[in-house]
Amino acid sequence: MTDAVFRNFIDGRLDEPSATFDSVDPSTGAAWAKMPAASEADVDRAVAAAHRALGSGPWRRMTATARGKLLVKLGDLVAANAARLAELETRDTGKVIRETRAQIAYVGDYYRYYGGLADKHEGAHVPIDKPDLDVTIRREPIGVVAAVVPWNSQLFLSAVKLGPALAAGCTIVLKASEDGPAPLLAFAELVHEAGFPPGVVNILTGFGHDCGRRLTSHPLVSRVAFTGGPSTARAIVRNTAENLAYTTLELGGKSPVVVFADADLDSAANAVVAGIFAATGQSCVAGSRLLVERSVKDEFLARLKRKAEAIRIGDPQDPATEMGPLATLRQRDWIEKVVAESVARGGMLVTGGTRPAGSGFYYAPTIIDAGGSDLPCVREELFGPVLSVLAFDTEAQALVLANDTPFGLASGVFTSNLARAHRMARDIRAGVVWVNTYRVVSPLVPFGGYGLSGLGREGGLDTIRDYTRSKSVWINTSDEPIPDPFVMR
C-alpha cells in the first residue's frame, strides 16, 4: 500500500510524471511510495532547461559571490531540514536514523564550503614572451552537468557534485537512483526555497536503460559526474562517446584495513566494526578486508566476534537500532550467494551468515576467516555487512595483501609505529589512507580511487576547476596597425 507520491523537479517546478514505479521500504519489504520514472523526453526537457539557464537569464548574469550566497543558504536549509530528510532516507533505503540524521546535518557544511569558494577560484595573467600582447586565462563554467548518484549516502554524494558545479557557474541535471530516491526528490524543495533560478538544478529519477542512458549521452551535456559500480561506469563511458563529455567516476572498493600487533587493539576493533557494519556495510569505503598480524589474529577476531554479535539489529527508524536492513532484496540474495560459495570453498564462518527472523531485507553481521585471497568474499565487492579476514606475518606481506585487488578507493592502517605508518601510507595503492582511524570525511579533503575505484577526485579546493574550462584571451596593446603579412619589407 503506497501512501506518498513524489515528482521530478524540472525547470523550477515539480513535474507530473508520465509513468511511476513503487518504492519499497527495506525494513518491511512493502511498497510505501510512488516514484516518477523519467522518460527520455523528461530527460530532454530537464537538459534543455539547464541549457537555457546556462546561456541566458539570471544565473548567467549572477556574480560568483551571489552564487556563493545561494549555496550557503542551501547548506543552512539542508541542516535545518536534516531530520525530515533523514526520516525519508531511512524509510526509503533502510539506513538507520542515527546515521542519516548525523550525515545529512553535516552535508550542509559541504554547501557552505563551496559557497565560500565560489568567488575564490581565479584565472591568471600570463607574462607572455611576445611584445605588445596581454594574455589572460579565464576559468568559465564547463556547461551542463549530468550527475548520477546511487541510493547510499545520496545527499552527501550529491553535495560533492552540486557544490563545486554550482560554485563554478554550471547548471545541473541530477539523477537519483531508482532505489531509494525519496530524499533527493524532497531536497528539490530546498533548492527552490534557496532561490536558485529555474533550470539551474533539475532532479529526477528513473531507470538506467532510458533515463540514465539518455542523460549521460545527451549532446547538450558537457560534464558527467558518476558515483556507483564499475559495470555501470563502463556503460556511462560508452555513452559519453556520443557527446565527449568530461567524465569523473567515483566507484566502489574492496578496502583493506591493516592491523599490526602493536596497534591499540580496542581502538582498532571499534574502527573495523564501524568500517564494515555501519550503514550495513553499504558504503563505497567499507573496510571489507581485514588484514591482521598473525600473532594477534585469534585475540582480535574474538573481540570482533563479541562486538558483531552485540550489534542491535532492528527498525531503522528506532534511534536505538545500530544496523538496519540491506537496501534491496537483490543485494541480499547476492551476498548470500557469495558467502555460501566462499564457505563451500574453505572459508570459516566466525559469526553471522544468516537472516535474522522477521520481514525485511536483513542480514546478520558476518565475519569470514578467509584463509586465502582467492575466495569470492575477498575478491568481490559485496556492499553488505561481510568482513573477510586474512593473516600476515610481516609488513611486506601486509602490503602485498593490501594491494592485491583491482580496486583502490580507501584503506586503513593501525599501528603505534610512526615510521611504519608513513611507509604503509606511501605504498598502499588507494586514494584514501586512514591511519589509526577510519571512515572520516571533510569537505576540505579530496577523495577518489585507483584502478576500478574510478577516475578523478571529489571534495577539496581543486574540484571546482574540474567544472570549468579555460579560455585564453589575447589582447594587442599596441596602437600600431598589424602589418600586411604579404607585403615584403
- pLDDT per position as a tens digit, 436-487: 999 999 999 999 999 999 999 999 998 999 999 999 999 999 999 998 989 8
Q: Give me the helix-helix angle, 182-194 and 154-167, nearest 10°.
A: 30
> Per-residue pLDDT for 70 more than 60?
yes
Burial of 14 (0-12, 13-18, 19+ CB in 10 A): middle
pLDDT on residue 232: 95
Q: Mean pLDDT across the stretch 272-288?
A: 96
Query: Which cell goes with 313?
Result: 539489529
pLDDT on residue 18: 85
Q: Which residue has the cell 603505534?
A: 416
pLDDT on residue 475: 97
| pTM across the whole model | 0.95
Active-site residue (options: 250, 322, 380, 381): 250
Q: Which of 270, 346, 338, 263 is nearest to 310 (CA)?
A: 270
pLDDT on residue 489: 65
Domains of the chain: 8-251+449-473 (3.40.605.10), 256-435 (3.40.309.10)
Q: Mean pLDDT across the stretch 375-388?
A: 96
- pLDDT per position as a tens digit, 196-214: 999 999 999 999 999 999 9
Q: Note if 250 is an active site residue.
A: yes
Q: How far is CA 269 from CA 192, 242, 304, 373, 436, in A?
A: 44, 48, 6, 22, 11
Spatial separation of the C-alpha atoms in residues 483 and 489, rounded to whole Å: 10
- pLDDT per position as a tens digit, 409-446: 999 999 999 999 999 999 999 999 999 999 999 999 99
Q: Mean pLDDT across the stretch 359-375?
A: 96
> Per-residue pLDDT for 358 more than 90?
no
What is the C-alpha radius of gyration for the chain, rounded to an integer number of angstroms?
25
Q: Mean pLDDT across the stretch 99-116?
A: 96
- pLDDT band of residue 1 (cuts 50, 70, 90) is very low
pLDDT on residue 353: 96
Q: Mean pLDDT across the stretch 112-124?
A: 95
Quote the Cα angle for 123-126-130, to 5°.
150
pLDDT on residue 2: 58
Are 389 and 367 in contact by the 8 Å Cβ rule? The answer is: yes
- pLDDT band of residue 262 (cuts 50, 70, 90) is very high
Burial of 164 (0-12, 13-18, 19+ CB in 10 A): buried
Q: Give me the helix-helix angle, 182-194 and 64-80, nearest 10°.
A: 130
Query: Which cell goes with 30?
Result: 512493502
Q: Mean pLDDT across the stretch 12-28?
A: 94
